[in-house]
Structure 1
Amino acid sequence: MSSTSQQRVILVTGANKGIGFEVVKKLAKESPINKNIILLGSRDLERGQDALVRLGSPSNVYVLQVDISSRDSIARATDEIKCKYGGQLDIVINNAAIGGLELTVESAREMFSTNYYGIKTLNEHLFPLIRENGRVVNVASACGSIVLFEASKDLQEKYSSSTLTTVQLDCLVEGFISAIATNTIEELGYNPKSSYLIYSVTKAAVIALTRIEARQWSGAKNVLIISVCPGFCATDINKNASGARPAQFGADSILYVVNAPQSELENGCFYRDGQQLPQIGFFNRKN
């Protein structure tokens, strides 16, 4: 592996298909080969290799097997970055996520394992590798803002507290999962009629996590930690929903916060298509 000192090293998780694939495709197409080293993160190695072939096997794109729901897989991927890519990263795009409509504890555990705990654990492992002026992009969703808008004032205050810690956020997550088991979601302050309830709460947690990480980590290396909504895009997660916008548009929303000048972004905040969104709010689904 050649020296990475003059190249950006970019990891995109969940990149073998959907929005993540389009992000890698755009990065590979729009950047000179000698500018970026792109790590195409994929839970399944064979699917990652197939995605690389679909891209035309560009010489600066490499498959990195990483299942972010597995701490062991994250540790192995971290070691691989250290061994093969100089132990340095400039940008981490946490795109991997799963969805589902079933309102069960099992479904909640599975979704939070990837959508929230996976991002949290991966960032904990990779932040020491991020270079000066790097960026961490946590892909969230406007659903996360809307589900809190529809929740109780007490929950809104807890999620948006400027002193919220990861321990407290974990407690909010576990409390929600427990409420599913005891059928007390409404008593806890969530609206049981909120769309895509479990998925939406995972994304509310990601937006809150981003704010915490920005407070805790950004100062040392001038790193920006941002959450971003790709918009409602046609992907496997929604069974390529009719009327949804193309995944390429979602990739553009993500790449805005990757490439925008630092002066145009506010650390810890939430963006969609270049515009800052509130942590808690109701707005139209953007196709």
Structure 2
Amino acid sequence: MHDKVHQAGVTERVALVTGANKGIGLEIARQLARAGVIVLLGARDRGRASAAVHALAQQGLTAQAVQLDLEDEASIAAAAASIAAEHGRLDILVNNAGIVDAEDGPPSAASIAAVRKIVNTNFVGTLAVTQAMLPLLRRSPAARIVNLSSSLGSLTLNGDPSSPYYSARLIGYNASKAALNMLTVQLAEELRDTPIVVTSVSPGYVKTDLTGHQGFLTAEDGARLPVQHALRGADAVSGRFVEASGDTPW
């Protein structure tokens, strides 16, 4: 076990970013590394994780590959054990990994298999990772958990005919993000007497594989808000659901 220390004597923060081999996850990892954070780049495929680490190294940034499959509890437990052995704690957890499925759709027509897979990955898998990492986060003096949500997970906006999200009826994906928001709310309450801050962040409509590159924002743009909350100091407020324009209604 070891801590890397700045010349000023301040211990560097350690961050795990799930689904970090591409898209917003990779950009979050890049921006955290630029901020001097020790970045653990989590991905299902070890080779893709290593390739992403190499890509960051070519930009002068250091990261470590961590094999992590949200649908494989053994891989989650192994990742937690390796982080404990190498670093002894975790200061930042960015729950970025998530999926969509072409067979998702409105409640009357969505494939049940697709909905089950989406919810199992986006919500149950994220819960499993969070549970496994909590003992390490509790060892941090001021840990941050950032859940990558979506305005599509807002019950308020889904029920508002004037909202641009009203017609986006993807029962599996939207429900998975609403459930993720419930995790943020309940976890923030459970941890209210600790220094751990939990936040749901909607990065916006970002051009990634997840959106079929149809978004308005670049991955660099979309990563800024999650990184801001991952690095937030003593003014951080737990249990918020935020997007670039401010707080989002649950």
1:25, distance to aligned residue in structure 2 (A): 1.1
1:274, distance to aligned residue in structure 2 (A): 6.4
User: Which runs of 5 or more structure 2 residues have no equivalent in the other structure?
Assistant: 6-10, 104-109, 161-165
Alignment match, 2:238: 267
Name whichever of 1-10 and 99-108 sits farther off: 1-10
Alignment of structure 1 residues 1-287 onto 2, 5 Å? 2-4=2-4, 6-29=11-34, 31-32=35-36, 36-56=37-57, 58=60, 60-86=62-88, 88-102=89-103, 103-130=110-137, 131-145=140-154, 149-150=158-159, 194-219=168-193, 221-241=194-214, 243-263=215-235, 265-273=236-244, 275-279=246-250
1:112, distance to aligned residue in structure 2 (A): 1.0
1:202, distance to aligned residue in structure 2 (A): 0.5
**Alpha-carbon deviations, 1:34-69, whole Å to 9, x = none?**
xx2110111100001111111125563101110112
Runs of 4+ in 1 over 4 A off after TM superposition: none
Q: Quote the Cα distance in structure 1 between the aligned partners of 2:205 and 2:46.
A: 27
Cα gap change, 1:240/1:149 in structure 2, threshold over 3 Å: closer, same or farther? closer
Q: Quote the Cα distance in structure 2 between the aligned partners of 1:260 and 1:3.
A: 21
Q: Quote the Cα distance in structure 2 between the aligned partners of 1:48 and 1:91.
A: 18
User: Which runs of 5 or more structure 1 residues have no equivalent in the other structure?
Assistant: 152-191, 280-287
8 Å Cα contact 2:21-2:43 kept in structure 1: yes
8 Å Cα contact 2:56-2:62 kept in structure 1: no
8 Å Cα contact 2:156-2:249 kept in structure 1: no
Alignment match, 1:169: none
Equivalent residue letter for 1:223: I
1:148, distance to aligned residue in structure 2 (A): 6.2
**Alpha-carbon deviations, 1:100-128, whole Å to 9, x = none?**
23111110111111100011111111111
**Alpha-carbon deviations, 1:151-197, whole Å to 9, x = none?**
9xxxxxxxxxxxxxxxxxxxxxxxxxxxxxxxxxxxxxxxx964322
| TM-score normalised to structure 2 length | 0.86
Q: Quote the Cα distance in structure 1 between the aligned partners of 2:116 and 2:4.
A: 38
1:238, distance to aligned residue in structure 2 (A): 1.5
Seq. identity, % = 32
Question: What is the count of residue pairs matched by the alignment?
Answer: 231
Secondary structure of the residue aligned to 1:119 is helix
Equivalent residue letter for 1:207: N
| TM-score normalised to structure 1 length | 0.75
8 Å Cα contact 1:111-1:199 kept in structure 2: yes
Cα gap change, 1:234/1:146 in structure 2, threshold over 3 Å: closer, same or farther? farther
1:256, distance to aligned residue in structure 2 (A): 1.8
Q: Quote the Cα distance in structure 1 between the aligned partners of 2:65 and 2:176.
A: 27
Secondary structure of the residue aligned to 1:230 is coil
Q: Quote the Cα distance in structure 1 between the aligned partners of 2:240 and 2:91.
A: 19
Query: Aligned-pair RMSD on alpha carbons?
Result: 2.1
Name whichever of 250-259 and 6-15 sits farther off: 250-259
